[in-house]
Amino acid sequence: MQLVSPLFLVLLIVLPSLIFVLRWFRKQAIVPVVHFSDFRQGFAAGIQQMRETFSVKVLPTLSILRFIVLALLIFTLARPQLTQSQERKFAEGIDILLVLDISESMRAEDFKGVNRIQIAKSVINDFLSHRENDRIGSVIFAGESFTLCPLTLDYSVLIELLRDVEIGQLEDGTAIGDALATATHRLETSESQTKVVILLTDGENNAGSIDPETAATLARSLGIKVYTIGMGKEGGARIPYPDTTFGKRYREVLTYLDEDTLKQIASITGGRYFRATDPQSLQRIYAEIDLFEKTKFAVIRTVDHKELASYILIPAVLLLGIEILLSNTVLRKIP
């Protein structure tokens, strides 16, 4: 509740003080005309022995009623209002496409004995758990690209599809340009003001029909920002392979990460390039991107004012009527 004209409340102090002063001056101005003798017995003694009636006892109630009426009228002048505010929040979601490399080199176990693809899927799942109100989809690629999941708000479906992704589902190779072009095509019809591609790979573009620079230029023309992530340690990486005699064995394979191309893609589209050499750094990268690309919210606030003066004026009028009725009937004083 609020008061539109709170200065009127000053009258609660001024008026009672003024009434007190006026009464004091009135008493000072009254000069007795007739002096009565101080009768110790007889008529005066009988008056002193008279008991006060109920009407005399409740006579001060009239003054209390008048003060309450006066206070209510002053409070009415202050115009009390009941304020009710409502907020409606509208989410301006972001469209994000996660592009994941599933080529054979992603089998490398240079991330503490766990292969790259498993680490990447785990970190992506954690990234999804921190998003809301964003449409997110996924494209996987090796020697060719494939839309794993179109843009969706149902992250559980995307998580399930990512869980089933395995190396070997697509023809081997690393078609970075084709993967980026596929993601761009998926975002082409998006009406979102913010469109983002997060591309993760551990190799160089050696397959496909579209070169990465061309795909990046196309993405930029559609207002798409691309964050690129190069995964894997420098030098050789242990890649397991099946052996019918000794079971699972490893071979040292020299993997080459084309960082220059990934940096160029990010630069063309206004994104950033990151290098992940262990699970913790990859997790920090996705967390940093999560901070960069936050969902925007528009808040609309509506305020309603309800006047309460009538609810105070009505009892003031009723009490005034009661005071007038009593002062002219049962509590009437004879001058």
Q: Where are the chain's structural domains?
A: 11-22+53-80+308-335, 90-298
Give Rg (Cα) of the chain: 43
Q: Which residues contact 321 (CB under 8 A, 6 or more apart)?
A: none
Lowest mean pLDDT among 16-25, 133-142, 286-295: 16-25
3 state SS of 232: coil
> pLDDT band for position 304 (50/70/90)?
low
Count the neighbouring beta carbons within 10 Å of the beta carbon of residue 27. 8
Cα dihedral 26→31→33→34 (10° resolution): 100
Q: Tell me the per-residue pLDDT of 165-208, one tens digit each, with 9 for 90 and over.
A: 999 899 999 999 999 999 999 999 888 888 999 999 998 999 99
Q: Minimal CA–CA distance to 261: which of 293, 229, 306?
A: 229
CA distance 262 to 208: 16
Tokens of 202: 């551990």
* One-letter amino acid for residue 175 of the chain: A
Mean per-residue pLDDT, 282-292: 89
> pLDDT band for position 3 (50/70/90)?
confident
pLDDT greater at residue 19 or residue 115: 115
Lowest mean pLDDT among 134-138, 222-226, 248-252: 248-252
CA distance 272 to 289: 9
Fold adopted by 90-298: Rossmann fold (3.40.50)
Mean pLDDT taken over the chain:
81
Q: Tell me the per-residue pLDDT of 47-91, one tens digit each, with 9 for 90 and over.
A: 555 556 666 666 667 777 777 888 888 878 877 777 766 656 565
> pLDDT band for position 233 (50/70/90)?
confident
Q: What is the pLDDT of residue 141?
A: 97
* pLDDT over 90 at 157, yes or no: yes
Q: What is the pLDDT of residue 30?
A: 56
Q: What is the pLDDT of residue 27?
A: 67
Residues β-bridged to residue 251: 239
Q: What is the pLDDT of residue 176?
A: 97
Q: Which residues of 114-150 are buried (b: 16+ CB within 10 A; e: fewer)?
A: ebbbebbbebbeebbeebeebbbbbbbbbbbbeebbe
Tokens of 79: 């115009």
Determine what percent of the chain is predicted with pLDDT higher than 70: 75
Distances (CA, A) of 256 to 23, 174, 198, 223, 236: 102, 11, 20, 30, 9
Lowest mean pLDDT among 17-21, 215-219, 239-243, 291-295: 239-243
Q: How many helices (H) and strands (E) does the chain have?
A: 11, 11
Measured in degrees and rounded to the nearest 5, phi and psi for residue 299 equal -110, 125
* pLDDT over 90 at 264, yes or no: yes
Q: What is the pLDDT of residue 246?
A: 60
CA distance 277 to 274: 10
Q: What is the pLDDT of residue 15?
A: 72
Distances (CA, A) of 283 to 79, 122, 222, 230: 58, 9, 28, 13
